[in-house]
Structure 1
Amino acid sequence: MTGSASELARRLGDHAEAVCRAYLSNGHRSGNHWIVGDVRNTRGRSMHVRLKANAKGPAGKWVDEATTEFGDLLDVIRESCGLIEFRDVADEARRFLAMPRPEPQSRPFGAQRQPAVARGSPESARRLFAMSQPIVGTLAERYLAGRGIVLSARERALRFHPGCYYRELVTGKTQTLPALIAAVTSLDGRITGLQRTWLAPDGNGKAQLDDPRRSLGHLLGNGIWLGLEPGAPVPVMAAGEGFETMASLRTVMPALPVAAATSANHLAGLIFPPGCRRLYIAADADAAGRHGIERLSQRAGEAGILALTLQPQLGDFNDDLRHLGPAHLAAWLADQLVPEDARLFLPAG
């Protein structure tokens, strides 16, 4: 640990209980320890943070008895906020301690900067995904349920982070909020990026932010896949821009693999899985993504794939699901699917 990191950790230790209350809010004090589920702020009792220095060691040191993980309060900030690079962790620690940022130091001539994970890179996305947890029983599951979306617990693309780092682009101010994390993957299942949807503290809707949804990583050609088995042939699939649109279709057709490309331009460049014969493209009523639909249809035709457009009744398929109900949405889709697909993917009756 560098001297600056050691100093930050020591100063955080001087305010250990305040740090725990801010970043491990799902825990509680018990004697000289803060008790919580883990360093990612999960409810539970296996992680103990020392609040005051004693013969066993300095304040701020912690250990998770369930996983044998251990560390200091900089690790708490990193993991609970979903930060990747130390400069971001240090900035957040200084913000909490109300310390100014250090002046940048020039490097000696010929000195090489240590390699770091680039912000917004696929590796950064993979690390943040690994820091997150399954959505079962979390605010992310509550958020999806509030939008009428019910997905299998086996969906590997979705995770939850209880305190994902958010920086306002104009002011630079930072805060931590719960977030739904959706992995963007290539067809072989490798994470190339992800999409973060910051949630209201109670999970009832998105957070009150100017842009509560942001993506990072390599998105073009890839997508948020639901129901994809890496490398397996996908004879029939559906694709569209938004995650919630595609998750709504997956809710009423749980056996149909779907991909959310995250934008119209990325939809136009989606890579087709092996063995694809039919592609259903989900449209929005406002036709804002018409270019992406037209370009994807053209590319599908050139690849020998039959492309068919699915139209919602309201603004998008999530509006249909929430306001009209899954049975009505299924009936509406039945007339737009090839009869063979309607029998295969829609519930009987």
Structure 2
Amino acid sequence: MARLDASDLAQRLGRQAEAVCRHYLDAGRRQGNYWQVGDMRNTPGRSMFVRLRDTPKGQAGKFTDAATGEHGDLLDVIRESLGLVDFKDVAEEARRFLSLPHPEPEPPPKKHASTPAQLGSSEAARRLFAMSQPIGGTIAETYLRRRGIMSLHGNGNLRFHPRCYYRPDEHSPTEKWPALIAAVTDLNSKITGAHRTWLAPDGSDKAPIDIQRKAMGDLLGHAVRFGTPGDVMAAGEGIESVLSVREIIPGMATAAALSAPHLAAILFPDALRRLYIVRDNDPAGDGARDSLIERANAAGIEAIALSPTFGDFNEDIRQLGIDALRAIVRVQLAPQDVARFMARAT
């Protein structure tokens, strides 16, 4: 094989991105257009995403580790997964891999108007959301109010489905439970995914099942959004935690990224100048906070962490009440934002 420079090697590996991931990151698995794994060292997990196909967002073979902020290409993956140090060894291994025959990745199924959307795809998420209904007067509203969330204005990205399919794994039978459905959107308000919270039939709690929440579709960088983003916004992990903070700052745009790794990788609106990080009080929340502060500062955005007293802000509002939560949040906001966003809540 003719000698190739690093850029050529990376591009050729990108054309075989799925085969590279299956070989060097076999602890992970494919999720849509990404390979998902714990990190470059092939640790089991879900925080690192390798792009498998060229898209408007980036080239195949590029990866981002939402937990650490690391990013790179498949040469970095080869280096770290094998513990190599010198680039010549990395390049030699890449050339060896490229000289081997590799099966082409499975092509995406052709779309026909009469066929159902691929399970777990963005299109399936859009169909699920379209089939759902506004939450007013439903057990989804009952559920949220029992969680201390009373103000449901501007929550068009939340809906209710009375009989949402639930299947814990591929070997289990399909069940149907009522569910709170949340639309995951990009910065242009396009639905890229959906999040389901299965509920008890009376809305008193989550459904008595093993896996009570699941997301589907394209999630990386996106979020469940409330309000119109401006120069100030708040972003957190869970929908209920973010909605609890929104009780206190109803005029501020907020976003729920659905997990700590996805919070660390959330995309910033162009106009954003100050970001409040609605963190969960655990090690994963600490990691997401630190990564997001670093990314925000690098983009010229001021980042301020909002910390709960208990595990998250929904636990705070349920345990302490809204007046105590208002006091907790007030002292953590920039003074100008207290006047701007809290005036109508007092």
Fold shared by both chains (TM-score > 0.5): yes
SS at match of 1:291: helix
What's the counterpart of residue 177 of structure 2?
177
Please, what is the CA RMSD of the aligned residues?
A: 1.6
Matched, 1:190 2:186: no
CA 1:333–1:154 in structure 2 vs 1: closer, same or farther (change >3 Å)?
closer
Alignment partners' CA distance in 2, 1:268 and 1:168: 27
SS at match of 1:141: helix
What's the counterpart of residue 321 of structure 1?
317
What's the counterpart of residue 339 of structure 1?
335
1:315 Cα offset (Å): 1.4
1:249 Cα offset (Å): 0.5
1:345 Cα offset (Å): 1.4
Report 1:280-295 matches (<5 A).
Answer: 280-295=276-291
Alignment partners' CA distance in 1, 2:327 and 2:340: 14
What's the counterpart of residue 118 of structure 2?
118
What's the counterpart of residue 256 of structure 1?
252
**Does the 8 Å CA contact 1:238/1:257 hold for their aligned counterparts?**
yes
The one-letter code sitting in structure 2 at the alignment partner of 1:311 is: S
- Max radius of gyration: which structure? 1
**Does the 8 Å CA contact 2:241/2:313 hold for their aligned counterparts?**
yes
What's the counterpart of residue 162 of structure 1?
162
Question: Where does structure 1 lack aligned partners over 5 or more consecutive residues?
Answer: 1-111
Report 1:235-250 matches (<5 A).
Answer: 235-250=231-246
**Does the 8 Å CA contact 2:148/2:244 hold for their aligned counterparts?**
yes
1:291 Cα offset (Å): 1.9
1:114 Cα offset (Å): 6.9
Alignment partners' CA distance in 2, 1:172 and 1:235: 46
What's the counterpart of residue 212 of structure 1?
212
What's the counterpart of residue 144 of structure 1?
144
Alignment partners' CA distance in 1, 2:131 and 2:191: 14
1:290 Cα offset (Å): 2.0
**Does the 8 Å CA contact 1:236/1:256 hold for their aligned counterparts?**
yes
Cα distance per residue 1:181-211 (max 9 Å; x no partner): 0000011111000100000011001001111
Higher relative contact order (CA 8 A, sep 6+): 2
**Does the 8 Å CA contact 2:179/2:198 hold for their aligned counterparts?**
yes
CA 1:334–1:154 in structure 2 vs 1: closer, same or farther (change >3 Å)?
closer
Alignment partners' CA distance in 1, 2:110 and 2:334: 57
| Structure-1-length-normalised TM-score | 0.65
1:113 Cα offset (Å): 7.3
Cα distance per residue 1:304-330 (max 9 Å; x no partner): 000011111111100111111111101
| Structure-2-length-normalised TM-score | 0.65
Alignment partners' CA distance in 1, 2:243 and 2:159: 14
1:275 Cα offset (Å): 1.0
CA 1:165–1:223 in structure 2 vs 1: closer, same or farther (change >3 Å)?
same
- Equivalent in 302, 305, 309 of residue 309 of structure 1: 305
What's the counterpart of residue 200 of structure 2?
200
Alignment partners' CA distance in 1, 2:145 and 2:152: 12
Cα distance per residue 1:85-139 (max 9 Å; x no partner): xxxxxxxxxxxxxxxxxxxxxxxxxxx9774421111111000000000000000
SS at match of 2:202: coil
Matched, 1:269 2:265: yes
What's the counterpart of residue 29 of structure 1?
none
1:282 Cα offset (Å): 1.2
1:168 Cα offset (Å): 2.6
Question: Where does structure 2 lack aligned partners over 5 or more consecutive residues?
Answer: 1-108
What's the counterpart of residue 53 of structure 1?
none
